Structure 1
Amino acid sequence: MKKFILSVLLLSSFSYATANAKEVTEPEILSEAAILSDSESGAILYEKNADKKMFPASLTKIATAIYAIENGDLNDITTVSKEAAEVDGTRVYLEEGEEVTLKKLVQGMLINSGNDAAWAIAEHLDGSMDRYSENLNAYLKEKVHVEHTHFVNPHGLHDENHYTTAADLAKLTNYALQNETFKEIFGTKELKWWGKSWETTLITHHKMLKGEVPFEGVTGGKTGFVDEAKQTLATSAENESIKLTAIILKADFKRDIYKDTINLLSFGFSHYDSSHLDKTEVFPAEGKTFTTGGKTVAITLPKGSYNESVTSKGRLMIEDHNGKVVQTVQLVEEKRDEVASRQLKSEEKPEKKTIGSYGKIGLMIFLFGVFVLLLRKNLKAKASRRRRM
């Protein structure tokens, strides 16, 4: 009886410990809007006011950078205009008439947040701010699939018609991080700068990237500030299991954007892993068969237990143990002839050439015969040597 009671107590304590181990406490965020996403799958792991219309300040330059990289020639020489040289705010002190490569302008804009560099980029690509705004917004909708973004300038100085959301900025940053050139510049901590009017070393303003605010795994970032937007911050980070993107908007103080970012990244690293759906995987659901459409698809999985299910319309749902949807993936229905072809291929087995029992016996006899011949030859050789002796 004592053993029975002891067993019950042990089981009860084990169940309680397991339940507590699975509890997920979301981070407390001070900023007005924030989002954390898997940089590769795009899965949203945390959000606060993520679809609220906000002012991005210099996070705008993420859009200007990837637009320039994908639509311009980074080796092009740009001549700085009077308007670019005189733009307000943070600058890399370009001078009117100065000739600079497009790549150098992108570096000066992202690393040192140069508004003059951003203006020069826009003029070089599209000639005027109106034309630039029109083309940039079309590009963001077509390529990045933003839903609530409208930019009227390349740098983020305040304008009531210049706005976005945390969710759109996460999409934008994740899209841009797929480009190796952008990723390299976004993660640059310092860069020697030789300009017409000054020589210096540009140092990133992002305190986590340059190590002033310690956090392991930060790979890139961009800061922003104007009075109306307050403090804004974009950060990329990774460990051996997952790559993350964190966006913070409208914090009152710099310390808050870094505290919020650390809380978001710590939450992501603690509770999620990256994985993928193989292009050969098959998902049956209600008499239908779905696939990834021949593509390898990045997904995000909760650490520990989770559930996967496929709806009749081919939506793969990944849920944590509490039923929270972590990610949905739209699959492609496989046609009947494709199903039949796949099944036929799986049933086809390569013909195996095997040695049957009679074949094995014959092989053994053959080998034994060879052995006897070699043995006789060896004995004859020895006898011959003895006779010569």
Structure 2
Amino acid sequence: MRKEEKRKEKGTAGPLIIWKRIAVFLLIFGLAITGVPGRQNLIAEVQAEEGEPQNLYAQSAVLMDADSGRILFSKNGQTERANASTTKIMTCILALEYGSMDDVMTVSDHAASQPKVHLGVASGQTFYLRDLLYSLMLESHNDSAVIIAENIGKSVEGFADMMNAKARELGCSHTYFITPNGLDAADDNGIHHTTAEDLGRIMKYCIMDSPRKDMFLEITRTANYQFTDCSGKNSYSCTNHNAFLQMMDGALSGKTGFTADAGYCYVGALRRDDRTFIVALLACGWPNNKSYKWADAKALMNYGLENYEYRSLWQDIDPGSIKVKNGINKEKPFDMETEISLTVMGEDKDWKMLLKDNEQAEVTWDKEESLEAPVTKGQKVGEVKYSLNGEILRTYDISTSSGIREKTFEWYLKTIFSMYFIGAD
């Protein structure tokens, strides 16, 4: 394919952003390795000029556009860390997808032995899955997670296999689950862990893409819930510990977590107007810094709300036509070349994405120089690529709008015969 690369750019914001970030990186790197007095203040000033959140408590943090899955801000977003009870969002969504809310689940000795925070069940008790899911997500009960895992996955190990398979399906290549509750654990393959970016992807699936997303949201937004075991003899009460639901207008869902290895963790979502943001925080302080995660979550959500708006990305492209060698042209039957028009397939004039004011998608396209007949209608001859800051967002095929038959020896004979014999007086 000979590349005839053409571009339609609205300004030069994209390349400028790339060069600006390179300059910022070089400046920060230079300041970091030199003895410039007050270099930390200078670094902070550079970050402030970029407009990105500063001085976050979390060692890993991500802000994601929940619609596209695009990472809008990342601090050590791909660093693998223990993630505590934020694990339970995966446990919950798998239980919703593979179980029925009225399924009866029996408590094993192993489930009953789980440490606090726990529901406090006894071996042999039975519960409905519906009730265990509220226990899991509102109070973060560790025993409820194991009951669910053992009844749906046949064992904790079997359920962990399901969790890891789903993580791979979602593109979470730096995640490894061992337990359904997120308690610190290790085996021959490593420790129980994820990354802030992967955790954001899992939350995106739970609230945007899963066929059970509505029930996930209903459970995680419930303030209080009461239930009994299947016998009706024992009563339980749950209160939602996701304080972020009352902190910002539009707070949608979330899950807290804490272990000695993980520190305080949080993953949450907010929807305001037509924008939905996800925040994932790992290692966001240790006792007595329980409130750090709320400060970071608000800072990142406000950054998203203040800086990102939906803007149209679609640009009309006229790919023109393409020469076809040895193709039949009834008007000029003996010309060696003819042309057919091209079209961009699957146009999406309503395509929008959350962008900053100074962000602009770049559109490039290339196509074949010529084709040999025969050519079929809809035959791919090139591509249109949309990219943002060097990352390809979408590609669209450039295809032929009609087909054309090949000139064969038989065609020449018939054409000549028709022209000089049948058409003669």
TM-score (norm 2): 0.66
For the 8 Å contact 1:40–1:298, the answer to whether it is kept is: no
- The aligned counterpart of 1:26 is 52
8 Å contact 2:220–2:253 — kept in the other structure?
yes
Q: 1:250 aligns with which of 261, 280, 283?
A: 283
Asked whether 1:148 is paired with 2:148, we answer: no
The reply on whether 1:301 has 2:335 as its aligned counterpart is no
Q: In structure 1, what is the Cα distance between the partners aligned to 2:394 and 2:73?
A: 21
The partner residue of 2:394 within 330, 349, 353 is 330
Counterparts in 2 of 1:333 and 1:222: CA distance versus 1, 3 Å = same
Once the two structures are superposed, the pairs formed by residues 233-272 of structure 1 within 5 Å of their partners are 233-252=266-285, 253-272=289-308
Per the TM alignment, residue 59 of structure 1 is displaced from its structure 2 partner at its CA by 0.5
The answer (yes or no) to whether the contact 2:319–2:398 under 8 Å persists in 1 is no
More helix by proportion, 1 or 2? 1
Q: Which residue does 1:317 correspond to in 2? A: 387
Equivalence for 1:183? 217
**Alignment partner of 1:78 is 2:148:** no
How big is each residue's C-alpha offset from its partner over 1:221-266, in whole Å with a ceiling of 9 and x where there is no partner?
1100000000001111111141110011101121211111110000
Distance between the aligned counterparts of 1:291 and 1:264, measured in 2?
A: 37
Q: Is the 8 A contact 1:233 1:248 kept in 2?
A: yes
Aligned residue number for residue 413 of structure 2: none
The corresponding residue for 2:309 is: 273
**1:135 Cα shift?**
2.3
Counterpart-to-counterpart distance in 1, 2:146 and 2:350: 39
**Alpha-carbon spacing, 1:31–1:76, altered in 2? closer, same or farther (3 Å):** same
- Deviating beyond 6 angstroms after TM superposition, the runs of 4 or more aligned structure 1 residues are 285-288, 293-296
Whole-angstrom CA distance in 2 between matches of 1:241 and 1:290: 29
CA distance in 2, matches of 1:156, 1:260: 22
Shift of 1:298: 5.9
- 2:256 paired residue among 207, 211, 223: 223
Aligned to 1:347: none
- Structure (1 or 2) with the larger CA radius of gyration: 1
**Could you say what secondary structure the match of 1:311 adopts?**
strand
Change in 2 beyond 3 A, CA 1:332/1:191: same
Distance 1:110 1:315, change over 3 A: farther
**Structure with larger RCO (C-alpha < 8 A, sep 6+):** 2
Change (3 A) 1:202 1:290: farther
Query: What is the match of residue 194 of structure 1?
Result: 228
Task: Flag the 1:285–1:97 CA change in 2: closer, same or farther, 3 A.
Answer: farther
Mapped partners of 1:122, 1:285: distance in 2: 54
User: 1:284, CA displacement in angstroms?
Assistant: 5.5
Partner deviation per Cα, 1:3-57 (whole Å, 9 max, x = no partner): xxxxxxxxxxxxxxxxxxxx65111212100000111111111100000011110
In the alignment, the residues of structure 2 paired with residue 246 and residue 107 of structure 1 have an alpha-carbon distance, to the nearest angstrom, of 22
Deviation at 1:124, TM superposition (A): 0.8
Change (3 A) 1:100 1:297: farther
State the distance in 2 between where 1:154 and 1:295 align: 43
Equivalents in 1 of 2:50, 2:125: separation in Å?
54
The alignment status of 1:174 with 2:204, answered yes or no, reads yes
Q: Please show how residues 49-198 of structure 1 align to structure 2 within 5 Å.
A: 49-142=76-169, 144-160=170-186, 161-178=191-208, 179-195=213-229, 198=234
Contact residue 345 and residue 399 of structure 2 kept, 8 A: no
Within 1, Cα distance between the matches of 2:301 and 2:173?
A: 25
SS at 1:146's partner residue? Answer: coil
Deviation of 1:136 after TM superposition, in Å, equals 1.9
Give the drift of 1:170: 0.4
Partner residue, 2:329: none
Conservation of the 8 A alpha-carbon contact between 1:290 and 1:331: no
In the TM superposition, residue 122 of structure 1 has moved relative to its aligned partner by 0.7
Give the match's secondary structure for 1:173. helix
**Mapped partners of 1:243, 1:37: distance in 2:** 9
Amino acid in structure 2 at the alignment position of 1:202:
C
Q: Distance in 2 between matches of 1:301 and 1:293?
A: 20
Once the two structures are superposed, residues 78-114 of structure 1 have per-residue CA deviations (whole angstroms, 9 ceiling, x without a partner) of: 1111211211121122222222122221221111101
- Whole-Å separation in 1 of the counterparts to 2:76 and 2:320: 36
SS of equivalent residue, structure 1 residue 121: helix
How far residue 194 of structure 1 moved from its aligned partner, in angstroms, is 2.8
Contact 1:108–1:114 (CA<8 Å) still a contact in 2? Answer: yes
Q: State the distance in 1 between where 2:57 and 2:385 align.
A: 34
Cα distance in 2 for residues equivalent to 1:164 and 1:338: 50
The offset of 1:155, in angstroms, is 0.4
Q: CA 1:337–1:248 in 2, change beyond 3 Å: closer, same or farther?
A: same
Equivalent residue letter for 2:303: F
Secondary structure at the counterpart of residue 174 of structure 2:
coil
* CA apart distance, 1:328: 4.4
**8 Å Cα contact 1:57/1:157 also seen in 2:** yes
> Is the contact made by 1:283 and 1:291 (CA closer than 8 Å) also made in structure 2?
no
Q: What RMSD in Å do the two structures reach over aligned CA positions?
A: 2.8
Encode CA deviations 1:110-154: one digit per residue, 9 max, x unaligned: 111011111011111111122222222112212x12111110110
1:81/1:240 CA distance change after superposition, 3 Å: same
2:183 alignment partner AA? L
What is the TM-score of this pair, normalised by structure 1? 0.71
